[in-house]
Structure 1
């Protein structure tokens, strides 16, 4: 019997290719693309957060400088003579003059929360600070400068000091508004 001729596969005719490599590569490409898109979104969100923190920091620095300036302005002012009736259950918000306001009426919305309040004045503006700072100060009355000095007989000099509530705001962007408030007392 004669030996059978060996049949070698011809390079031009592939034996049983099924396309598994192509499908696997496409699936891996889709997975890598989804991971890259997720990372891009994460980086963009981090940049927005960093920008917001920076805007708030600039607004906070400006507001702090404005608060110190407004406290000095409050002590230079002459206290108002009109005092609201805080016990009548009716909001009697008096107007402010040059940033100085009468004591707040407990029946009213706090001035800094009241969108119709127009007593904000310019406290500081660029180039002194990065952002313009607005504010006002409310006269709260006279209070002892140290504990129980007003009960001594006679009352010592410089015992009573004028107390003010000082409020300032600095706006960098609508999302980066800083409002600071302090109670400040001087002789």
Structure 2
């Protein structure tokens, strides 16, 4: 004959099993809350980055029609300074040019947008921006443009003899950034040929 299990032997098992299940459910709840919090932070960061990128795009569109006059730029360095192995810093802004307008950069120097000590960043003038373009953004995007010199307007036109009168054209490079305290920072760069 088999002995029947008594009720007294299994009395505390239900309590232990229910406590273990409660701990497991609590751990799963805390883990899911952490996941939701992380997703919320990521979406907030993407929103900030999107706003900053849109400000850059609006600023770039606003400065584009205003940067195509080489007379607004400071004079370039002497040609010999561009071909030596030294970094000769080309001028930016006043007194020889408008604020944010820079002479052709020396290829031996650190690019201006990568130089933490570069002080030529200028706010995009509010008059250049259509009303309501930036919404509620606190900071205007900043920019600087560089006169890049003459370049061929189409492939190998400079090798034709005689050279076509419209072969060479001016090139301008615009760099624009949007940054605010505790917000995402973005930077755009475009090259223009009038």
TM-score if structure 2 supplies the norm length?
0.78
Q: Match of 1:86, SS? A: helix
1:38 and 2:31 aligned? yes
Alignment match, 1:116 = 117
Distance 1:168 1:148 in 2: 31
Distance 1:154 1:103 in 2: 24
Q: Match of 1:146, SS? A: coil
1:51-72 alpha-carbon deviations (Å, 9 max, x no partner) = 1111111111110111122222
1:153 and 2:158 aligned? no
Alignment match, 1:94 = 90
Distance 2:91 2:119 in 1: 9
1:1-187 paired onto structure 2 within 5 Å: 15-16=8-9, 18-78=11-71, 79-83=73-77, 85-97=81-93, 98-123=99-124, 127-130=132-135, 131=137, 132-150=140-158, 151=160, 153=162, 155-156=164-165, 158-172=166-180, 174=182, 176-186=184-194
CA root-mean-square deviation? 2.3
TM-score if structure 1 supplies the norm length?
0.81
Distance 1:149 1:108 in 2: 29
Aligned residues: 172
Distance 2:32 2:155 in 1: 60
Larger Rg: 1
Instruction: Compute the displacement of 1:144 (Å).
Output: 2.9
Distance 1:108 1:44 in 2: 44
Where does structure 2 lack aligned partners over 5 or more consecutive residues?
1-6, 94-98
Structure holding more helix per residue: 2
Is the CA contact 1:55–1:173 (under 8 Å) kept in the aligned structure 2?
no
Distance 1:70 1:49 in 2: 32
